[in-house]
Amino acid sequence: MPTFYLDDQPVDFKQGETLLQAADRAGIYIPRYCYHPGLKITAQCRMCLVEITDMGNGRGMPRLQASCATPAAENMRISITSEKALNAQKTVNEFQLVNHPLDCPICDQAGECDLQDISFLYGTGRSEMNYEKRVSGNRDVGTFLMLERNRCIQCSRCERFSRDLVGTHDFAVFNRSHEVSFDTYGDHRIVHRFQGNLADLCPVGAITQRDWRFRKRAWKLKKTPGVCTTCSTGCNITLDSHQNHIYRISPRENLQVNRWWLCDEGRINFRGLNYHPGSSGPGAGPGKKTPRLEEPQLKARGKARDGGWDGVLEALAPLLKEVAAAKGSVAALADTHATNEELFLLKTLLAEGFGSDKLFFPLQKGKAELRAPAGLEDTFLYSLINTDKSPNTAGAQALGLKGLDGPDALKGALGGKVKIMLVLGSPWEDDPIAGDISTLADLVIYLGVGGNAWSKTADVVLPGFTHAEKYGSFVNRNNLVQRIRPAISPPPQARDQVRTLCSLLGALDREANHADGRDVLAALGAAEGPFKGLNWEALGDGGMPLPGKG
Amino acid sequence: MAQEKLLLLKNIRTKGYAADLAAYRAAGGYKALEKVLGKSQGGMTPAQVTEAVKASGLRGRGGAGFPCGLKWTFMPADPKDKPNYLICNGDESEPGTFKDHYLLMNDPHLFLEGMILGCYALSCHHGYIYIRGESMYLIHRVRKAIDELYAEKLLGSNILGSGFDLDLTVHPGAGAYICGEETALLDSLEGKRGQPRFKPPFPAQAGFNGCPTTVNNVETLANVPFIINNGPEAFAKLGTEGNSGTQLVSISGHVQKPGVYEVEMGHNLKSLIEDFGGGVRGGLKLKAIIPGGASSPIMRPESIDIPYDFDSVMKAGSMRGSGALMVFDEDTSIIELANRTIRFFNHESCGQCTPCREGTFWLKNLIRDFVDNAGSEELMQRVDRVAGSILGNTICAFGDAAGAPMQAFGRVFPEEFRKHFLR
């Protein structure tokens, strides 16, 4: 690999890479505002200026060059710590602050602001600019966004994203010189489904997400890596939480999956993840409290019998044993929001406990939901949103579950009324079938998190964890196995679905004692099958391809 | 008394010259085109034309003084996948410059002949002439001249039976100083916001619509017919070492006879003001000159007894630029001049690069303090520091154009700044 030298330190580069890109890969940070790996290079913020003492041919460059746009060359020698380079960093940063309001105490970006961080690292710490600053108002620019133009440092990332990746040209440049403003045309409001990325891209607090503004200071957040569950793409996300409350979901870089982006559906998803005690019941929705199943319930003829977990399981065990002994027909219907581990235990329970293979899931046909505008077919962004709105269809298929097109297909596959039906998650929850389960089975056991039609009509309700509360793994549509882990703690009476399934296995005298999803995945990886060789640690935060699928 | 050396202004200086195609032809026009494209004299290949321009030592008259022939050799000689483009920069936005306007208005065919020759040399089949939109009358003038050429089949397909096709389009700019910068001009021509692009790639690699492009100044191209007609040696003989030919100088300001004058490269700067400009008007004394448009550093009268060409003026600490000589008499306030200059540059900065966008804004405020008699030694140093921090740190030369003169005002006329200190 060809090499150049940054402050005498060798840096390998690929042909065509620029200095900053190669330095990034080598883990050397060069300050920047306008450069973003996912956007076209414009070299306009001038923060990444470097001194080139040797272009690789023995001659230096008289002027500092923008390292984000200068192609690396063999044996080039550059410096980011020479007097000239340091001085340029200092003065360019000083210029960035000339018209920046420095309203950090009331700015939502504070704590994760490029301008703030770089000013502390490279700035002078004092200002000699004592004139009135440019003032331009705030604007409501999108269904998801607010624009505070005073804070803008004119890096043009928003414009480039709107133009080159989304193709909607929502942001444009207006005016000239220090009055340059990045704004939408007239009263135009942005309505596309990738708005949140604009807030992420903005290096300062000029573009902020409406449902994040004034909610929490960024430095207080606990960041938990996770996987988005709103569609089968499985975008990598970070769950930003504080004191057991999730405030935001932001994308996490994974070049194999979502690169740097996340759609707005994925971001809004955090609203449904927060648990508020005593909030079970209807009324879910944006900004509303989430209905959660809080207590295990065993209902007999419409009357709930309360006995806590022990009571419910004790009462349930003889019923299960009776059906198992009589070789009664048992079926299970699982939503593919369930993790591989849950599906695996459910399959084990059915096969070993009841000798049944009637394990079904609602099959959603996956294809790109949006069509990219002409000329943007290869920009990737539009392929993010898939019509399969569950994160684990590929996992269910790999584990051998049978996908069904709809409730009618389920009726056919069951072949008449069964003795016991296990329902995991909320499959077809809006279909009448969910409210009419007495025609399907004598006994319906429901494992899930939210109150819905299934939980209302099921005979046994066993509350579980959301994907923000448990360990587990999903397989995305490209057969990449990715792991999730708890960001917040669940309601006190809820129990990990994995533990519940172990208990059900135990009720049938089967040895199953897994602490959480990590344990199950280890067992899954140890056994023959599509997951052979995988374990939770090995997956890492970037995921691994499903071994069974090449 | 010094005389003009007439190459470009020969027709214009002829009394009663009508400036249409017939008059231009009667004055010996389009002979060079005959020589290159016509069958009668054997013709010249594009490479031969480029070679002649290279040998003549013609340097770009737009301001940077880059050798024109060398620039042409950067273009692909045999364009296959992408067409080559020659674009004429007639934006002429540098304050103090009005020579291209003068030339196009009074003798458009001289320039057009050079433009056609340039297109031929670069194997370009569609040339663009970018003229600022404020001067619509000028655009009409050039368009009318082009219509005359189409009518006489000197443009279009198969010019003079040579098989060479060429179309010319005049494009009005929307009046931004920055669109005189070649890559901003290309963006503007493509219908985008005029903002300089970072280089590399240079226009010769990826310019107009991503195709190889050369951008030349009006005056530069207007020199080409003479070089073809009289040979590169005749042109190289004129002027000084490394600065061949004649130059159009726009003299403005406090002189008796402002206007465009043509002299040899290296003509004495002092003589330009005194012999052609007629000296400072009203019997006042000379206080300062700006030798190359608003972006060049100011000079004191003591240091102007130098040859006026690219290298000599550079050696004297300023720039010949586009040949815009601005003369200021003793009543001029240098602070007001600095104020006017920085207000212009602040207004015209495209706002792309941080140092230029914010630096010009800051400088404008600093100079305003001096105008308000609230200056100080500290502020003077700050002007120097802020201007110096813009220099060389931007994508295009605008940063230098704004920073260098601001530094020079304080360096050359510190006493003028001190007059405006807070007392």
Is residue B190 one of the residues assigned to a domain? yes
Task: Indicate which CATH number applies to the domain containing B72.
Answer: 3.40.50.11540
Residue B361 and residue B379 in one domain: yes
Verify whether the Cβ–Cβ distance B346 to A178 is below 8 Å. Answer: yes
Question: Which element (helix H / strand E) includes B158?
Answer: none
* pLDDT, average across residues B348-362: 96
Confidence (pLDDT) at A292: 84
Is residue B14 one of the residues assigned to a domain? no
Residue B36 and residue B151 in one domain: yes
Question: Which element (helix H / strand E) includes B169?
Answer: strand B167-172
Q: Is B10 an 8 Å CB contact of chain A?
A: no
Residue B312 and residue B412 in one domain: no
Instruction: Give percent of chain A with pLDDT exceeding 90.
Output: 75
Is residue B13 one of the residues assigned to a domain? no
Q: Is the ipTM of this complex over 0.90?
A: yes
List the one residue out of A107, A111, A114 whose CA is nearest residue A47: A114
CA–CA gap between residue A334 and residue A428 (Å, rounded): 10
Identify the residue among B357, B366, B395, B422 best suited for mutation to test binding to A, counting A beta carbons within 10 A and taking the highest.
B357
Is residue B9 one of the residues assigned to a domain? no
Q: Is A88 an 8 Å CB contact of chain B?
A: yes
Q: Is A65 an 8 Å CB contact of chain B?
A: no
Verify whether the Cβ–Cβ distance B361 to A154 is below 8 Å. Answer: no
Residue of A nearest to B363 (CA): A129
Identify the residue among B93, B356, B358 best suited for mutation to test binding to A, counting A beta carbons within 10 A and taking the highest.
B358
Residue of B nearest to A86 (CA): B389
Transcribe A11-48 into DSSP letters. Answer: EE--TT-BHHHHHHHTT-----SS--TTS-----S-TT
CA–CA gap between residue B300 and residue B292 (Å, rounded): 14
The answer to whether residues A340 and A474 touch, using CB atoms and an 8 Å cutoff, is yes
Task: Indicate which CATH number applies to the domain containing B266.
Answer: 3.10.20.600
Residue B185 and residue B257 in one domain: no
Residue A100, Cβ neighbours under 10 Å: how many? Answer: 23
Verify whether the Cβ–Cβ distance B352 to A44 is below 8 Å. Answer: yes
CA–CA gap between residue A543 and residue A538 (Å, rounded): 8
Interface of B with A in 376-405 (CB under 8 A): 382, 389, 392-395
- Tens digit of each residue's pLDDT (9 = 90 or more) over B8-33: 999 999 999 999 999 999 999 999 99
Verify whether the Cβ–Cβ distance A95 to B389 is below 8 Å. Answer: yes
- Tens digit of each residue's pLDDT (9 = 90 or more) over B283-322: 999 999 999 999 999 999 999 999 999 999 999 999 999 9
Is residue B6 one of the residues assigned to a domain? no
Shortest Cα–Cα distance, B198 to chain A (Å): 7
Question: Which residues are within 8 A (CB) of A224 and not within 5 positions of it... i.e. 6 or more apart?
Answer: A238, A239, A241, A468, A485, A486, A487
CA–CA gap between residue A342 and residue A517 (Å, rounded): 8
Q: Is A98 an 8 Å CB contact of chain B?
A: yes
Tokens of A421: 């039906």
Q: At what angle do helices B108-121 and B99-106 cross, to 10 degrees?
A: 100
Verify whether the Cβ–Cβ distance A180 to B357 is below 8 Å. Answer: yes
| Number of H-type helices and E-type strands within chain A | 15, 24
DSSP for residue A112 = S
Q: Is B342 an 8 Å CB contact of chain A?
A: no
Considering only CB atoms, A45 lies closest to which of B349, B354, B389, namely B354
Q: What angle do CA A395, A399, A400 make, to 5 degrees?
A: 120
Verify whether the Cβ–Cβ distance B349 to A43 is below 8 Å. Answer: no
Domain final residue pick, B276, B311, B329: B329
Residue B146 and residue B217 in one domain: yes
Residue B225 and residue B343 in one domain: no
Residue B205 and residue B74 in one domain: yes
Is residue B102 one of the residues assigned to a domain? yes
Beta carbon pairs, A and B, within 8 Å? 97
Confidence (pLDDT) at A187: 87
Residue of B nearest to A90 (CA): B389
Verify whether the Cβ–Cβ distance A95 to B350 is below 8 Å. Answer: no
Please tell me the total count of domains within chain B.
3
Tokens of B225: 């017919």
- Tens digit of each residue's pLDDT (9 = 90 or more) over A352-384: 999 999 999 999 999 999 998 888 877 789 999
Task: Indicate which CATH number applies to the domain containing B376.
Answer: 1.20.1440.230
List the one residue out of A242, A418, A399, A274 whose CA is nearest residue A334: A399
Helix (H, G, I), strand (E, B) or coil at A66: strand
Shortest Cα–Cα distance, B347 to chain A (Å): 6
- Tens digit of each residue's pLDDT (9 = 90 or more) over A423-470: 999 898 888 888 787 788 999 999 999 888 888 888 899 999 999 999
Residue B160, Cβ neighbours under 10 Å: how many? Answer: 17
pLDDT at position A285 over 50:
no
Confidence (pLDDT) at A305: 63
| Number of H-type helices and E-type strands within chain B | 18, 12
List the one residue out of A471, A485, A448 whose CA is nearest residue A241: A485
The domain in which residue B341 lies consists of: 334-418
Domain final residue pick, B201, B236, B271: B236
Residue B24, Cβ neighbours under 10 Å: how many? Answer: 22
Confidence (pLDDT) at A415: 85
List the one residue out of A240, A43, A201, A42 whose CA is nearest residue A113: A201
Residue B302 and residue B414 in one domain: no
Residue B127 and residue B56 in one domain: yes
List the one residue out of A332, A333, A334 whose CA is nearest residue A354: A332
Model confidence band, residue A288 (pLDDT cutoffs 50, 70, 90): very low
pLDDT at position A278 over 80:
no
Is residue B12 one of the residues assigned to a domain? no
Q: Is A154 an 8 Å CB contact of chain B?
A: yes
Q: Is A348 an 8 Å CB contact of chain B?
A: no
Is residue B354 one of the residues assigned to a domain? yes
Shortest Cα–Cα distance, B250 to chain A (Å): 28
Shortest Cα–Cα distance, A364 to chain B (Å): 44
Residue B299 and residue B390 in one domain: no
Residue B83 and residue B108 in one domain: yes
Side chain identity at residue B226, one-letter code: F
Domain final residue pick, B314, B329, B344: B329
Verify whether the Cβ–Cβ distance B348 to A69 is below 8 Å. Answer: no
Which residues does chain A have within 8 Å of residue B357's beta carbon, measured at their own beta carbons?
95, 154, 177-178, 180
Shortest Cα–Cα distance, A178 to chain B (Å): 5
CA–CA gap between residue A335 and residue A423 (Å, rounded): 8
Transcribe A286-349 into DSSP letters. Answer: TTSPPP---S-EEEETTEEE--HHHHHHHHHHHHHHHHHHTT--EEEEE-TTS-HHHHHHHHHI
* pLDDT, average across residues A298-310: 70
- Tens digit of each residue's pLDDT (9 = 90 or more) over B175-225: 899 999 999 999 999 999 999 999 889 999 999 999 999 999 999 999 999
Q: Is A176 an 8 Å CB contact of chain B?
A: yes
Side chain identity at residue A234, one-letter code: G
- Tens digit of each residue's pLDDT (9 = 90 or more) over A192-250: 999 999 999 999 999 999 999 999 999 999 999 999 999 999 999 999 999 999 999 99
Q: What's this model's pTM, rounded to 2 decimal places?
A: 0.92
Shortest Cα–Cα distance, B144 to chain A (Å): 34
Which residues does chain B have within 8 Å of residue A63's beta carbon, measured at their own beta carbons?
392-393
Question: Which residues are within 8 A (CB) of A255 and not within 5 positions of it... i.e. 6 or more apart?
Answer: none
Q: Is A350 an 8 Å CB contact of chain B?
A: no
pLDDT at position A303 over 70:
no
Residue B302 and residue B224 in one domain: no
Which residues does chain A have within 8 Å of residue B348's beta carbon, measured at their own beta carbons?
176-177
Instruction: Give percent of chain B with pLDDT exceeding 70.
Output: 100
Confidence (pLDDT) at A306: 66
pLDDT at position A15 over 70:
yes
Strand locations in A354-496, DSSP E? 359-362, 402-404, 418-424, 441-448, 460-463, 472-475, 480-484
CA–CA gap between residue A126 and residue A166 (Å, rounded): 39
